[in-house]
Amino acid sequence: MPTDCSSIDLATLNTAQGVIVAAIRNQCCQWEQDSSDAAADGRLSNAVMVQHWAFAADILASKVSSEFSTLFIRSLDARFGDLTATTHQSAADQVLDAIALELSSAQEAPKLVAV
């Protein structure tokens, strides 16, 4: 894991999380279907094995999602400091402010048109 998380692009990180977790969950669904098909065909040993793969993939998807979330928070902390609640602002409000800053810095400045 990178030690300087402040340079990680949050939008890319968020997209990568969605794509990777969706791919794992899709494979999980495929294995669940394969397990059902194998059980219907009487291949019970195969059905149990594939069902175990699906279960492991489901756990993996949750773990990957959790790790991406942790990296996202580390990146926010590296950019904006510790995001613990204060008497003035909750941690959730600080995260929203940080994301708003990230989004506004990624947008182009509006072009002025002479009238």
Cβ 94 vs Cβ 80: under 8 Å: yes
Report yes or no on 100 lying in a domain.
yes
Number of domains the chain contains: 1
What is residue 77's predicted lDDT score, i.e. its pLDDT? 79
Report yes or no on 113 lying in a domain.
no
Report yes or no on 1 lying in a domain.
no
| CA separation for the pair 46, 40 (Å, rounded) | 11
Percent of the chain with pLDDT over 70: 72
Residues 59-67, mean pLDDT to the nearest whole number = 93
Report yes or no on 75 lying in a domain.
yes
Report yes or no on 57 lying in a domain.
yes
Report yes or no on 35 lying in a domain.
yes
Q: Does residue 78 or residue 104 have the better pLDDT?
A: 78
pLDDT digits (tens, 9 = 90+) for 8-59: 888 888 899 999 999 999 999 999 999 999 999 999 999 999 999 999 999 9
Report yes or no on 12 lying in a domain.
yes
Report yes or no on 20 lying in a domain.
yes
Q: What are φ and ψ of residue 73, in 5° steps?
A: -65, -40
pLDDT at residue 110 is higher than 60: no
The full 3-state SS of 19-83, as one line of letters, equals HHHHHHHHHHHHHHHHHHHHHHCCCHHHHHHHHHHHHHHHHHHHHHHHHHHHHHHHHHHHHHCCC
Domain around 71: 8-106
